[in-house]
């Protein structure tokens, strides 16, 4: 109830905030008690590898722009290769790896001056050779 020093007999236009403050204090106490009991962080687990299983690095195929007027040059794992050799060499590499698709990952790095068609042809050959996943890597060569 609000009291005023005025001697008017009508209702007072002042708002009584005492019940509002009481409710806010009760809510504050509830949240202070419940807050520390809530779990913190996320439940996560790190994947474990067996000690005997070695993770194979992915195969890297570089597609380089050849001399003017000639086709692109190909490198599989640092060794030069012709286009006709891409599928057999990749099939040989993937056959030596385990059956998991993570071990049969392939990355293609291409010069920026080449057309996408050249890169897509290499990706198609890799899929035909048994690549589990094919990724494109941005070339550091301008």
- Quote the CA–CA distance of 126 and 131 in Å, as a whole number: 6
pLDDT surpassing 70 at residue 79: yes
> The tokens 């494109």 sit on which residue?
136
From the number of C-beta atoms within 10 Å of its C-beta (0-12, 13-18, 19+), residue 56 rates as middle
pLDDT band at 6 (very low <50, low <70, confident <90, very high): low
pLDDT at 5: 60
Mean pLDDT on 71-93: 89
Architecture of the domain whose range is 59-137: 2-Layer Sandwich (3.30)
CA-based torsion, 132, 137, 141, 142: positive or negative:
positive
More confident residue, 42 or 108: 108
pLDDT at 20: 92
pLDDT at 23: 95
pLDDT at 27: 96
pLDDT at 8: 60
- Whether pTM exceeds 0.85: no
pLDDT at 98: 62
DSSP H or E stretch at residue 94? helix 86-96
């Amino acid at each position: 109830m609000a009291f005023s020093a005025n001697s008017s007999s009508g209702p007072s236009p002042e708002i009584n905030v005492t019940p509002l403050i009481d409710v806010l204090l009760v809510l504050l106490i509830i949240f202070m008690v419940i807050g520390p009991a809530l779990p913190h962080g996320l439940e996560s687990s790190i994947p474990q590898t067996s000690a005997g299983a070695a993770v194979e690095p992915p195969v890297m195929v570089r597609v380089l722009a050849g001399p003017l007027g000639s086709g692109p040059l190909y490198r599989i794992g640092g060794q030069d290769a012709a286009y006709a050799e891409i599928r057999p060499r990749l099939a040989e590499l993937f056959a030596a790896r385990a059956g998991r698709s993570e071990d049969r990952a392939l990355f293609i790095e291409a010069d920026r001056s080449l057309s996408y068609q050249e890169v897509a042809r290499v990706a198609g050959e890799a899929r035909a050779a048994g690549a589990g996943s094919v990724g494109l890597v941005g070339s550091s060569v301008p």
